[in-house]
Amino acid sequence: MDDLDRALIALLTADARQPLATLARKLKVARTTVQSRLERLEATGAIVGYTLKLGQSAERPRIRASILVSIEPRNQASILTRLRAIPEVERAFTTSGRFDLLLQVAAATTEQLDSVLDGIGALPGVRSSESLIHLTTRIDRIA
């Protein structure tokens, strides 16, 4: 991946719906160059898809939280299997430091979120968990 590829990805990250001609003009290259770069980036897996990001008015209201989870040694695989079965768990990250996992969860109500948090804390092999409820989004660069 070279500088042109990175610049193309940056433009697409800002707005993936830009026409090829617009991208070519901004990058100061031919439209066919942009097309072939996109095809190559898709073929190599650097670009795996294009998504739709809903605005606040179209998005269902969701209460999100980050859950820091400390687990018993050698229980990560079984816990991850159980977490995959919980639809409110959107993402799970391994971490370094005091906690072993960082989970992003979303629920429609505080009651549902409370139930999910209780369920995660009760999983066999979970030592402890700490919840951080998301309030206001100040920066959002994820598409």
AA identity, residue 20: L
Higher pLDDT, 88 or 15: 88
Kindly report the pTM of this predicted structure. 0.61
pLDDT band at 38 (very low <50, low <70, confident <90, very high): very high
Neighbouring residues of 97: CB distance < 8 A, sequence distance ≥ 6: none
Q: What is the structure's pLDDT at 60?
A: 65
User: How far does CA 61 lie from the centroid of its chain?
Assistant: 18
CATH of 3-43, one of 3.90.550.10, 2.40.30.10, 1.10.10.10, 3.40.640.10: 1.10.10.10
Token output for 50: 């294009």
Residue 116 has pLDDT above 60, yes or no: yes
Confidence of residue 140 (pLDDT cuts 50, 70, 90): confident
Q: Is the confidence at residue 55, as pLDDT, over 70?
A: no
CATH fold for the domain made of 63-133? Alpha-Beta Plaits (3.30.70)
For CA atoms 131, 100, 78, 75, the dihedral sign is negative
Q: Could you tell me the residue ranges of all domains in the chain?
A: 3-43, 63-133
